[in-house]
């Protein structure tokens, strides 16, 4: 046991992190594009 978790929970946590990274990148790109659009609308 390490920090109260069994070894297989660490595998689950690592798998979730690996799967979530592409979604986070996609979200960050979408968010920055959305912020740019908002800024452009305010400028008009």
Per-residue pLDDT of the chain (44 residues; tens, 9 = 90+): 566 778 888 899 999 999 999 999 999 999 999 999 988 887 65
What pLDDT sits at residue 17? 97
What pLDDT sits at residue 44? 55
Neighbouring residues of 5: CB distance < 8 A, sequence distance ≥ 6: 13
- Report the alpha-carbon distance of residue 17 to residue 23 in Å, rounded: 10
C-alpha separations of 39 from 23, 26, 33, 36, 43 in Å: 24, 20, 10, 5, 6
What pLDDT sits at residue 43? 62
- Report the alpha-carbon distance of residue 28 to residue 36 in Å, rounded: 12
What pLDDT sits at residue 42? 72
1 DSSP assignment: -
């Amino acid at each position: 046991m390490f920090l109260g978790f069994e070894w297989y929970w660490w595998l689950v946590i690592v798998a979730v992190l690996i799967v979530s990274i592409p979604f986070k990148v996609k979200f960050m790109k979408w968010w920055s594009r959305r912020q740019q659009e908002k800024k452009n609308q305010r400028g008009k």
